[in-house]
Structure 1
Amino acid sequence: MLSSSLRLARPSMAARVALPCARVSALSVLTVAALAAATTAQAQSSANQLDQVVVTATRMPQRLGDVLADFTVITRAEIERQAFGGLADLLVNAGCVEVSRTGGPTSTTSLFLRGADNRHTVLLVDGVRVDSQATGGAAWNTIPLAQIERVEVLKGPASAVYGSDAIGGVIQVFTRRSDGPLRADVGLAAGSQGTVKLEAAVRGGTKTFDHAASLSVERSSGFNATNEKSTFSYVPDRDGYRRANGSLRLGAEVSSGHRLSLVALKNRTDSQYDGSRSKPLVDDHAITNTTAARLAWDAQWSRDLRTELSLGEGRDAYETTPSVYQTETRIRSLALNGSYQLGGGHQLNGLVEHRENRLDNAGLRGGPSSSGTQTGVALGHIARWTPALQTQLHVRADDDSEFGVANTGTAAVGYAVSPNLRLMGSVGTAFRAPTLYQRGSVYGPDLSKPGVAALQPERGQNLELGLRFSQEALSVTATAYRNRITELIVFGQAGACSSEFGCYENVARARLQGLHVDAQYGLGDWQLSASVDAQSPKDVDSGKLLARRSKLFGTLRAQTKLGAFTVGGGVQASGQRYDNASNTTPLAGYAIVNLDAQYALQRDLKLSLNLDNAFNRVYQVANGYNTAPRSVMLGLRWSPAL
């Protein structure tokens, strides 16, 4: 009963396609690789990655080694190894998510984090929430690689920290920045399907002032995204795209311990799609504009007290042409976040946040616009009771202008059995408020009809257990989870609304359970990594797998240095899934191989070569839609000091 949300809030919009990769035999290799890494006895010395500072887990700076959750950090070095696609492709390559898509990298895209639906994962860009109140979920296809410095992925419910939407997890993108000497970064790449990319950035700074700015453009002739099995449309032509984006970051220390920062970005994508079988010569386009801006004041009042006051706005605008459809979501937020060190290993976190959501859409009953507010208050307690025992407790109350108060909480504990092995466990609740479109469109409940009730928030209850082993260059994490989601909103039968085609209603239940294993190992100049997800995302009432989610998927990667060369390769793998909620249209498992190489021509000049889908695997992950064929990209990057 639960399916991936559609980018267009219209029943005629094409279904999305799931992306990742592999034959069941390849998945067996991944599983063996991950378990082998977990039992390897020898490890070479390397930097301790657990010492790096992250912020997404608690909204305050924290050592990665102190995070009591399933957490992934993707660095700039990993980002530069990938030549194709954008944020969604990066997350797939890192083994974090499954993805559905209706064509090339800029076409409508949604994510499945731990099997949760697209609308159940929060996207933040430098702390700014990006979402659509039309159907729910972020425009993942608009975030290009050129803007990204780092990505943090928090898996599991996080509404006690972030409020509405974080049933599946939180993904935060941090744009490029620098506090070192002034540097430029220029990249040029060209490859298959007529793809050309140009990137330019400048960044630098001192303790008192830092700045970074970037621009990038990309265009591609694309490939034929649909085939004869498409139930929506099929036109035998190439479906290309164009995108352009820019970002600006400024930071200044106005006095000792007090810092102001400004972040602004804009992304635009223009994607061709097959709009109608009856009009094969019409050039249909889907255009998405995403903007985000945030002004923040970070203040260190004393050694123990720190606060951050921020004002942010995110916009998501989507339109199609020549068929006319337009929708725009605006989210404004004002937040005061702070932490206080109590001493003895105890820290208190506090948050007050107000968010205003606005939707402009012609399909709304009460007019072309609708709005709503959410005000949240949160408290957190982070403690290290002994060198071995840690706890974290977060509680939050959100007051929604439509349905009232939603209370959420998360409790986590970590215990170090030895210096190299830590056990973790947590329980938590989460919610997702109905979107303004679900509430106020012709498909939303008509409260003037007898017996019709307003939509209620979707609810999640999660339990998970994990372990983390690290010894020098060897790191292994394993997390088992069980997330029950109730009051799921689906597009059901007519009757409760003014539309004869169907209505939104709270009727579905889902159970998301599984095991995630992730391992990294360094052996001399070799870096090995593997991830495996064995999961069972099911509709509780029917017992069927949720559409376009497999029971088993994963990644395997190896990389090494050969003089001035850095070469690597990876496998993306996925088992069988089903194209529909009734599980009557199976899609076979498959695997694709991606290869990459970099050559340092000079210290600041690098040549790169990427070969994706190296064996030109022809596969389908959604009925009626093609995926990218073998693709080659040659790039040159120059990063001089200025």
Structure 2
Amino acid sequence: MTYSYSRPAVAIAMVLFSCHQAQAQTQQIETISVIGARLPVDQTQLSSALTSIDRQQIEASGAINVTELLRGQAGISLSRSGARGSVTQVRMRGSEANHVLVMVDGVEINDLSDGGVDFAHLHLDNIARIEILRGPQSALWGSGAVGGVISITTLQADQPLSGRVSLAVGEADSTNLAAGVSGNHGDLNYALNASDYDSDGQNVSRQGSEEDGYKNRQFSGRLGWKITPASKVNLTLRHISANSEYDETDYAVTGLPQDSDHHTDIEQYQGKLNWLYNPEDNEWQQDVGLELNHNDNLNFANGTYTNANESEKLRLYWQGSYKYQANSHLSLLAERTEEDFEQQDPAGFSNQSRSNDANSIGLDWLHLFSEDWSVSASYRHDNNNFFDNAESYQTGISYSPGSGHKLYVSVGKAIKNPTFTELFGYYPGSFVGNPDLQAEHSVSVEIGGDIQLSQHWLLSAALYKSRLEDEISNSADFTSSINLEDDSERQGGELEIAGNWSQWQLTAAYSYLNSQQPDFTGELQPELRRAKHSGHVSANYTFSQVPVELYVKASYQGTQLDTNFLTFSTVKLPAYTLVDLTVNYDLTSNWKLALRAENLFDKDHEDVLGFVGQQQQFWFSAGYRF
């Protein structure tokens, strides 16, 4: 396989190389990744690009939804069909929306019906950390981790007793009420969090004036019991109930959304129960667990129920890990998954019940050769009962000579199994699906690294190229799914920089993407809803004389393509920049006030043709902690 890179990608490589020649002034602070391997691992040993967002950044931003922080991040393409609450998709490195695996507290939350995650329902009230691991990760985490993995960790106990409650009010009769309590007592620790969001929304159609509202109620809980010094049981639970109003596309006249009385009721719940055995004087540790992911979607038009789908994934796993020296381990994995999918409508035309079971084995090896060199290798074999078995792998080497520098190179293969919708369709008379589909396969190579420019500044860069085989796409008449005969190609580069200057905390990212998919003649064409250029700049300033904190973020999304489904013509969506501003004020040690402006300059924008993006909105919030 021959790889060549475009000029922007080569420019990033030159920057990375030239910066590596500079003398760094201090050591990099050690950071740990929870998804870079099957065990938590020192980030300097990773041979993949990783971005982390911590609780301090989340609170400073005042953001409500995860997507407000993801927009503009390196490697991320984000598309939202209107305002907050509208269907929101995330693509990584040019991949499809269902090529991103999302986990909350280690539990996969992807919906089995289409394989993706609607990020509209992921709110930030109880989130402690977000990790974005880019590149093929199926060898570690299974089907769907083609473009990368997003791992979300919720808040947990860090002291005997603590609690918080906050209320935010905004335009369009919007409110967000959140509360949480956590603590530890002896060998027990717990955390409970709940939130309630309600908004009349805005009109997302270019025509008409009907507002599309959104409601979201969430609950999560964590419970840990340290049975012995070496043995611990953990239980996590999560529940979301949401109602999202939306406009239907006019397929007869304009091909654009029009005011209509449609809404979807969403219910999701996930849970995990695991036992971790980790003796202090033994190199072996074991983790045995059971995970559940359940999704319900009910659709209504003009007050009438139209259709629904329900999916559930049950996963039983065992992982044994041998830590044979410092920063070196070998993990073995065995798991059993059972997937169930049901679909129905009042007339019974689409009624179906499907299932797929799989048995998988895998291994993950990380070895520290010396203080400078690490090598990693992962492998996974999936034995499916419905479609062909699949194998995935990743291997890489990392060189970290100290002073915060790191260089790495990696190659990997990821897979994405066909979704139930692709296999069996929506309605037998209009979209019948294709039960003979094969899994998609993506092979990628990546080179990147970190450069400690000075005591307070870190530069990260990555170059990648991938080839997707057997990509699943619509047939020419849009009545079924097919595996494309020709390969799709993605290549790009990413730059990130973060640092402190005086009382400023600054971050910036830039992504270049060239993503192409073959048409029905085999000619490569630019893929839809993926901007070639994107990025963000954010700044957080803490005043020294008064308890005030200022946060500002500008996110840029370049020109991208979409389809008008009336004419099936390709349309350009203009580039745009969104600016968010938050002012935080510590009234007392317990009370905090905040004023937030979303889309400060009220910039008109569209991520999906015809769906007007979030307009300017002001929020005021008050929070109390004990």
The TM-score with structure 1 as length reference comes to: 0.86
Residue number in structure 1 paired with 2:235 = 262
Conserved? CA contact 1:164–1:433, under 8 Å:
yes
The whole-number CA distance in structure 2 between the counterparts of 1:328 and 1:117 is 22
Q: CA deviation at 1:580?
A: 2.9
Which of residues 330, 342, 351 is equivalent to 1:360?
Answer: 342
Q: After TM superposition, give the deviation of residue 39 of structure 1 in Å.
A: 9.3
Q: Does the alignment pair 1:393 with 2:377?
A: yes
Mapping 1:309-388, distance limit 5 Å: 309-321=288-300, 322-343=304-325, 346-362=328-344, 368-388=352-372
Report if aligned partners of 2:339, 2:356 keep a CA contact under 8 Å in 1: yes
Q: Which amino acid aligns with 2:491?
A: Q
Q: CA deviation at 1:639?
A: 1.1
Look up the SS of the partner of 1:78 in the other structure. Answer: helix
Q: Does 1:569 align with 2:552?
A: yes
**Residue 142 (structure 1) shift:** 1.7
Relative to 1, partners in 2 of residues 1:576 and 1:207: Cα closer, same or farther, differing over 3 Å? farther
1:181 shift after superposition: 2.4
1:379-416: CA deviation from partner (whole Å, max 9, x where unpaired): 12111111111100111111111123211111110113
Alignment partner for residue 579 of structure 1, among 552, 559, 562?
Answer: 562
2:483 pairs with 1:506: yes
2 CA distance for matches of 1:85 and 1:565? 20
Measure the CA separation in 2 of the matches of 1:521 and 1:39: 17
Match of 2:371, SS?
Answer: coil
Say yes or no: does 1:292 pair with 2:270. Answer: yes
Separation in 2, partners of 1:520, 1:98? 21
1:142–1:288 contact (8 Å) kept in structure 2: no
Name which of 501, 505, 508 aligns with 1:527. Answer: 505
Q: Confirm or deny: 8 A CA contact 1:69 1:155 kept in the other structure.
A: yes
Q: Which runs of 5+ in 1 are unaligned?
A: 1-26, 229-234, 448-453, 495-500
CA offset at residue 283 of structure 1? 3.2
Consecutive unaligned residues of structure 2, counting only runs of 5 or more, are: 1-7
Shift of 1:267: 0.6
- Distance (whole Å) between structure 2 residues aligned to residue 280 and residue 343 of structure 1: 62
Residue 367 of structure 1, CA deviation: 5.3
CA distances 1:569-623 after superposition (whole Å, capped 9, x unpaired): 1210021111139883111111121111111111121111111211111122322
Give per-residue Cα distances to partners, 1:254-273, cap 9 Å, x unaligned.
11111101000101111111
Residues in 2 aligned to 1:446 and 1:372: alpha-carbon distance in whole angstroms: 15
Distance 2:616 2:270 in 1: 34
Q: 1:167 to 1:446 in 2, by over 3 A?
A: closer
**Distance between the aligned counterparts of 1:208 and 1:395, measured in 2?**
36
Give the secondary-structure state (helix, strand or coil) at the position aligned to 1:460: strand
Q: Give me the whole-angstrom Cα distance separating, in 1, the residues matched to 2:530 and 2:227.
A: 49
Question: Does 2:121 correspond to 1:142?
Answer: yes
The superposition leaves residues 231-270 of structure 1 with CA deviations (integer Å, 9 ceiling, x where unpaired) of xxxx421111111111111001011111101000101111
Name the SS of the counterpart of 1:404 in structure 2.
Answer: coil
Amino acid at match of 1:88: T
| Cα separation, partners in 2 of 1:630 and 1:409, compared to 1, 3 Å | same
Distance 1:254 1:417, change over 3 A: closer
Q: CA deviation at 1:522?
A: 0.9
1:464 has 2:446 as partner:
yes
State whether structure 2 residue 156 is matched by structure 1 residue 174: no
Secondary structure of 1:314's aligned partner: strand
* Structure 1 residues 39 and 158: alpha-carbon distance in aligned structure 2, compared to 1, 3 A threshold: closer
> Which residue in the other structure is 1:127 paired with?
106
Deviation string 1:53-102 (CA, Å, 9 cap, x unpaired) is 32111121112232221011111112223444422222115455221122
Tell me which residue corresponds to 2:4: none
Check if 1:597 corresponds to 2:583: yes
What is the CA distance between 1:281 and its match in structure 2? Answer: 8.4
- 2:233 and 2:274 in contact (8 A); partners too: yes
* 2:34 match: 55
CA distance in 2, matches of 1:198, 1:418: 46
* One-letter code aligned to 1:628: Q
Check the 8 A contact 1:357/1:372 in 2, yes or no.
yes
Q: 2: CA distance between counterparts of 1:616 and 1:282?
A: 25
* Match of residue 486 from structure 1: 469
Contact 1:284 1:320 in 2 (8 A): yes
Question: 1: CA distance between counterparts of 2:619 and 2:73?
Answer: 20
Q: Relative to structure 1, is the Cα distance of residues 55 and 206 closer, same or farther in structure 2, using a 3 angstrom cutoff?
A: farther
Task: Answer whether contact 1:544 1:583 (CA < 8 A) is retained.
Answer: no
1-side partners of 2:349 and 2:368: how far apart? 53
Checking the alignment, whether the CA contact within 8 Å between 1:54 and 1:63 is kept in structure 2 is yes
The amino acid across from 2:237 in the alignment is A
Distance 1:275 1:82 in 2: 33
In structure 2, which of residues 526, 530, 533 is the aligned counterpart of residue 552 of structure 1? 533
Q: Structure 2 CA distance, aligned partners of 1:158 and 1:114?
A: 13
Q: Does the 8 A contact of 1:43 with 1:473 survive in 2?
A: no
Q: Which residue of the partner structure matches residue 451 of structure 1? A: none
1:280 to 1:477, Cα distance in 2 relative to 1, 3 A:
closer
Confirm whether residue 408 of structure 1 aligns to residue 389 of structure 2: no
Deviations 1:1-25 (A, max 9, x none): xxxxxxxxxxxxxxxxxxxxxxxxx
SS for the counterpart of 2:563 is: coil
Secondary structure of 1:548's aligned partner: coil
Q: Distance in 1 between matches of 2:602 and 2:609?
A: 19
| 8 Å contact kept, 1:414–1:422 | yes
- Residue 606 of structure 2: which of 620, 623, 628 is its match? 620
1:484, distance to aligned residue in structure 2 (A): 0.7
Residue from 456, 469, 484 that aligns with 1:473: 456
Counterpart residue identity of residue 154, structure 1? L
Q: What SS does the corresponding residue of 2:526 show, helix, strand or coil?
A: coil
Q: CA shift at 1:206, angstroms?
A: 4.7
CA distance in 2, matches of 1:422, 1:336: 33
Shift in CA distance, 631/367, structure 1 to aligned 2, threshold 3 Å = closer
Partner residue of 2:593?
Answer: 607
Give the drift of 1:436. Answer: 2.0
Q: For the residues of structure 1 that align with 2:581 and 2:229, how far apart are their CA atoms?
A: 48
Aligned to 2:57, what secondary structure does the other structure show?
helix
Give how far 1:293 is off: 0.6
Root mean square deviation of aligned Cα = 2.7
AA of the residue aligned to 1:259: K
> How many Å apart are 1:358 and its aligned residue?
0.7
1:475-532 CA-to-partner distances (Å, cap 9, x unmatched) read 11100000111101111135xxxxxx51111016321110011110112211111100
Shift of residue 422, structure 1, vs aligned partner? 1.5
Comparing 111-120 with 95-104, greater Cα deviation is found at 95-104
DSSP 3-state at the match of 1:602: coil
Q: Could you tell me how far apart the structure 2 residues matched to 1:521 and 1:82 are?
A: 17
SS in 2 for 1:324: strand
Residue 346 of structure 1 and its aligned partner are, at CA, apart by 3.5
CA distance in 2, matches of 1:370, 1:276: 29
Match of 2:49 in 1: 70
- Amino acid in structure 1 at the alignment position of 2:164: D
Structure 1 range deviating more: 56-65 or 310-319: 56-65
Deviation at 1:637, TM superposition (A): 1.2
* Secondary structure of 2:68's aligned partner: helix
Q: Give 1:586's aligned amino acid.
A: K
Counterparts of 1:211 and 1:530 in 2: how far apart (Å)? Answer: 36
Residue aligning to 2:5: none
State the partner residue of 2:200: 221
Which whole-Å CA distance do the structure 2 matches of 1:247 and 1:588 have between them?
A: 39
Count of matched residue pairs: 589
1:633 to 612, 619, 622: 619
Query: Which letter does structure 1 place at the counterpart of 2:111?
Result: S
